[in-house]
Amino acid sequence: MSLRVKLVSYHPDYGAQMNTSAIRCVSDEFNRVEEWLAQPFPKPDGFAKWEKWKQAAWKAKQLKKWQFFVYREPRATRFSRSAALVKFQELGGRLKAVRKRR
């Protein structure tokens, strides 16, 4: 059974984020913070070869203000029944209303 990784992150200023927006927000803040540091964070061996979600989880752990949750779910999981969506809604995230096509 193939699995799909779904991400949920929370920051007091940015709020709840999901999937690619979670990766983008964590990476942007990490890069912004690292520019101002005299000694950048020491990255583990092979960091550049890690998957993007794993890099984002490591960066969130270094920043300490982020809560980062990773869910591995079967590809066949409906989005409405996803554990990641439940956590996203618990953290205060809201999805945009989907318009019906004519």
Question: What are 45-76's pLDDT values in tens digits?
Answer: 999 999 999 999 999 999 999 999 998 888 88
Q: Is 43 helix (H, G, I), strand (E, B) or coil?
A: coil
Residue 96 lies in a domain: no
Residue 98 lies in a domain: no
Residue 101 lies in a domain: no
* pLDDT tens-digit map of 2-43: 578 888 999 988 888 888 888 999 999 999 999 898 888 899
Count of structural domains within the chain: 1
Q: Is 7 helix (H, G, I), strand (E, B) or coil?
A: strand
Distance from C-alpha of 60 to C-alpha of 49, rounded to nearest angstrom: 18
Distance from C-alpha of 65 to C-alpha of 74, rounded to nearest angstrom: 29
Answer yes or no: are the C-beta atoms of 18 and 93 closer than 8 Å: yes
* pTM score of the predicted model: 0.81
